[in-house]
Amino acid sequence: SGINAEYVGLCFKLFYVQPDRTSGTVRAGQRLGVMLPMQSVYPEITSHIHVQMCDRSDPTPHF
């Protein structure tokens, strides 16, 4: 489960998220989905969202 998104040449994927919708357009500030709990699979882990750029570059500059 996850989200694939593109905006003005920027392409990224969000993992460990249950999307609110499967297609369409979203506006700035609109919720994309809900973070999934990971403890059932990895009991000691803190739930988090994994961000991956489509070109596999470092996503840090976009935050």
- What would the pLDDT profile of 16-55 be if each residue is shown by its tens digit? 999 999 899 989 899 999 999 999 889 999 999 999 999 9
Of residues 34 and 2, which shows the higher confidence score?
A: 34
Question: Residue 13: which residues within 8 A CB-CB, separation 6 or more?
Answer: 2, 3, 4, 5, 51, 52, 53, 54
In angstroms, the CA 34 to CA 18 distance is 5
CB atoms within 10 A of CB 17: 18
pTM over 0.85: no
Query: What confidence tier does 7 reach under pLDDT thresholds 50, 70, 90?
Result: confident
In angstroms, the CA 41 to CA 48 distance is 13
CB atoms within 10 A of CB 14: 19
